[in-house]
């Protein structure tokens, strides 16, 4: 098992030095979902929520969050992102009506973008909650995780189903 990279030999937290790492094309994809009442999903689908276009605003919030990840997570490096794409899928089946969010983040640099993809998903889902909480305080954000990442020394990771 490898060691935690954000701690030095004395156990103190530090920002990992990536100066010697080569710049490579890096991609991370994360996903998550927010469960809600059927009427809330219908309101989002119709585009008639009191605060406006829920998914359009959540998409912009998600992109902004990816760009601000290093301001939120103390030991993340600030990165020049080359792409942030955010997609939503609405579903009425399963355990509960829900909106799923998938964020794909890319850069060319010495460190990965998993944290940026995870942050993008979380903020998109939080924005949906914020915009719809007046009609559904019981919404539940769940299953946020990295689906895949590519690039860098450690290579590719693809989550297994289940």
pLDDT (tens digit per residue) in 55-99:
999 999 999 999 999 999 999 999 999 999 999 999 986 779 999
pLDDT value of residue 10: 73
pLDDT of 15 over the 90 cut? no
Catalytic member of 8, 130, 136, 143: 130
DSSP calls for 66-93? HHTHHHHSTTPPP--EEEEEEEEEEE-S
Neighbouring-strand partners of residue 145: 31
What is the tens place of the pLDDT at every residue in 100-111? 999 999 999 999
162 — pLDDT class (breaks 50, 70, 90): low
Q: 147: burial class by Cβ within 10 Å (0-12, 13-18, 19+)?
A: middle
130 labelled catalytic: yes
The SS3 of residue 33 is strand
């Amino acid at each position: 098992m490898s060691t935690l990279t954000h701690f030095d030999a004395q156990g103190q937290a530090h920002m990992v030095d990536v100066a010697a790492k080569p710049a490579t094309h890096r991609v991370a994809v994360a996903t998550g979902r927010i469960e809600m009442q059927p009427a809330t999903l219908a309101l989002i689908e119709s585009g008639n929520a009191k605060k406006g276009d829920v998914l359009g605003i959540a998409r912009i919030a998600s992109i902004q969050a990816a760009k601000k990840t290093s301001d939120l997570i103390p030991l993340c490096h600030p990165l020049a992102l080359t792409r942030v794409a955010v997609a939503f899928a609405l579903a009425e089946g399963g355990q509960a009506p829900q909106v799923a969010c998938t964020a794909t983040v890319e850069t060319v640099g010495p460190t990965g973008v998993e944290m940026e993809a995870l942050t993008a998903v979380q903020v998109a889902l939080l924005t949906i909650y914020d915009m719809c909480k007046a009609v559904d305080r019981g919404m539940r954000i769940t299953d946020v995780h990295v689906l895949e990442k590519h690039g860098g020394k450690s290579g590719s990771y693809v989550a297994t189903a289940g």
